[in-house]
Amino acid sequence: MILGVPKESYPDERRVALIPAFVERVTKRGLEVLVQKDAGAGAGFSDHLYEEKGARIIPSRRELYGSSDVILQVRAAAANPARGAADLRLMKKGSVLIGLLDPYASKEVLHELAQRRISSFAMELIPRITRAQDMDALSSMASISGYRAALMAACALPRMYPMLITAAGTVVPARVFVIGAGVAGLQAIATAHRIGAVVSAYDVRPAVREQVQSLGAKFIEIELDSEGTEKNDGYAKDMGEEFYRRQRELMGRVVAESDVVITTAAVPGKKAPLLISEYMLKGMAPGSVIVDLAAEQGGNCDCTVPGETVTRHGVTVIGPVNLPSTVPYHASQLYSKNITSFLGVVFKEGRVDTECRDEIACESLLTREGRLVHQKVQSALGL
Ligand code: NAI
């Protein structure tokens, strides 16, 4: 079987799905690896490095897709609104696609996948169970986003993070408030704390209190009934607008007293909850910074513009998109580990197992031989 790694075609995407160090893990399984010319260049991996590890470099994108039985990508199908659908048309009928596919985003793209009889596995759908931890691309990428968010805020803030006692005077530490202490939030807390900020955090799931405290941050208690905020799968529930209105009211004082607010609150499959209103910005000191990691899901802040930095009422509001791509070397390394571990589960006896014999394969299988087979996606999209 032939496995192809195309150059990512999403605008400004610098990651690559497979770095040279992981090529041998794939060839050992009996797969031949084709890599599109310059596929790793944006992340710092030259064609020469791939060749040294036994991959073959293919200059033409069309030829790469046309020759491959399995395609490994970072952003494909609906996760690449710019070129995802066009790329699918280059794939061989009956071939297999593995990547971040944004499965809930587009009925049309799902239709295209099915029509071309492509079997596809969405990395976002890999269950968050212990056995699948090394395949969990959502976690590895969220961790990078949290790290970057803390640094972006530090660079935009007209203050320093750490406390300094110098001959020229004392500098008080910056106060950083993180809303949403999932994977990205916890990494933002750890990074801000490491640089010396005084960090506090809040999450609707009370279970994260200890994790926040173990990173040296203060967990903010607010008088909201947190019963039923967490689903069985560990994710937060959609709590409805009245709950969020009350949350905004109760968090107002903490937000106003913070120099930096990093928001990461998300509810899978839903628009992100609105947790910082424009009115709340008026209470913040001029020069304060908000980094809204939920920008791509609609934003946690009223004033967020995805992909842009705006100033409202003296507050800098940053709405970053695709942050993992800004750390392409390590993002590609972690993603390569995720995707090769996943390949280890689905590639059995010389072929890709689309028969759902393994729980991880079964839950992430989106389309198989012309049909959308994922029930949650089916019902969420009313198909
Ligand atoms: P996410 O990206 O869906 O959401 C980020 C955070 O926002 C979550 O912690 C969520 O509780 C919080 N949130 C939602 N609404 C909020 C609100 N109104 N106010 C404040 N915070 C709000 O979540 P992520 O980071 O992907 O992780 C979700 C869960 O998955 C966690 O329980 C985590 O421990 C679990 N997990 C399990 C793994 C495993 O077992 N292998 C791996 C990674 C995560």
Tens digits of residue pLDDT in 261-316: 999 998 887 889 999 999 999 999 999 999 999 999 999 999 999 999 999 999 99
Q: Is the CB of 217 under 6 A from ligand 1?
A: no
- Whole-angstrom Cα distance, residue 4 to residue 65? 7
Residue 224 · residue 250 · CB < 8 Å: yes
What CA–CA distances, in Å, run from 327 to 74, 148, 171, 341?
A: 14, 8, 30, 21
Between β-strands 2-5 and 32-36, what pairing exists: parallel, antiparallel or unpaired? Answer: parallel
CA quadruple 164, 165, 166, 169: dihedral sign = positive
Q: Is the CB of 267 under 6 A from ligand 1?
A: yes
pLDDT grade, residue 154 (50/70/90)? Answer: very high
And the tokens for 109?
Answer: 């793209």
Give the pLDDT score at 112: 93
Name all contacts of 8-12 with Cβ < 8 Å and 24+ positions apart. 8/39, 8/42, 8/73, 8/74, 8/75, 8/80, 9/80, 9/82, 9/83, 9/84, 9/87, 10/74, 10/75, 10/79, 10/80, 10/82, 10/83, 10/84, 10/322, 11/82, 12/322, 12/325
Distance in Å, CA 266 to ligand 1 centroid:
7
CA angle 20, 147, 195 (to 5 degrees): 125
Q: Which domains does the chain have, with CATH numbers?
A: 2-125+328-381 (3.40.50.720), 143-321 (3.40.50.720)
Distance in Å, CA 142 to ligand 1 centroid:
10
3-state secondary structure (DSSP) of residue 365: strand
User: Which atom of ligand 1 is closest in space to residue 267's alpha carbon?
Assistant: 3
pLDDT digits (tens, 9 = 90+) for 183-234: 999 999 999 999 999 999 999 998 899 999 999 999 999 888 777 787 777 7
Q: Is the CB of 243 under 6 A from ligand 1?
A: no
What CA–CA distances, in Å, run from 345 to 233, 242, 351?
A: 22, 43, 11
Closest CA to 153 of 224, 259, 245, 82: 259
pLDDT digits (tens, 9 = 90+) for 47-71: 999 999 999 999 999 999 999 999 9
Between β-strands 119-122 and 365-368, what pairing exists: parallel, antiparallel or unpaired? Answer: antiparallel
Output the DSSP codes for 248-292: HHHHHHHHHT-SEEEE----TTSPPP--B-HHHHHTSPTT-EEEE
pLDDT digits (tens, 9 = 90+) for 15-56: 999 999 999 999 999 999 999 999 999 999 999 999 999 999
What pTM does this model have? 0.95
User: Which atom of ligand 1 is closest in space to residue 207's alpha carbon?
Assistant: 32
Asked which of 115-124, 238-247, 299-308 is least confident by mean pLDDT, the reply is 238-247
Distance in Å, CA 183 to ligand 1 centroid:
6
Give the pLDDT score at 374: 94
Distance in Å, CA 127 to ligand 1 centroid:
14
Residue 266 · residue 232 · CB < 8 Å: no
Which residue has a Cα nearest atom 4 of ligand 1? 266
| pLDDT over 90, % of the chain | 87
Position 239: which residue type?
Answer: M
Average the pLDDT over 342-357 and give the result.
88
Give the pLDDT score at 32: 97
pLDDT grade, residue 238 (50/70/90)? Answer: confident
Average the pLDDT over 325-333 and give the result.
98
3-state secondary structure (DSSP) of residue 218: strand
- Residue 229 C-beta-side C-alpha neighbours within 13 Å: 16
Q: Is the CB of 68 under 6 A from ligand 1?
A: no
User: Which atom of ligand 1 is closest in space to residue 183's alpha carbon?
Assistant: 25
Is the per-residue pLDDT at 127 higher than 80?
Answer: yes
Which residue has a Cα nearest atom 39 of ligand 1? 128
Give the pLDDT score at 144: 98
Q: Is the CB of 183 under 6 A from ligand 1?
A: yes
Strand (E) or helix (H) holding 200: strand 198-202
Give the pLDDT score at 79: 96
In a 10 Å sphere around its CB, with 0-12 CB exposed, 13-18 middle and 19+ buried, how is residue 223 labelled? exposed
Q: Is the CB of 328 under 6 A from ligand 1?
A: no
Give the pLDDT score at 139: 97
3-state secondary structure (DSSP) of residue 183: helix
Helices (H), the chain: 23-27, 47-52, 61-67, 84-88, 107-115, 137-156, 183-195, 209-214, 241-256, 278-282, 328-346, 359-364, 375-380
- Whole-angstrom Cα distance, residue 154 to residue 157? 5
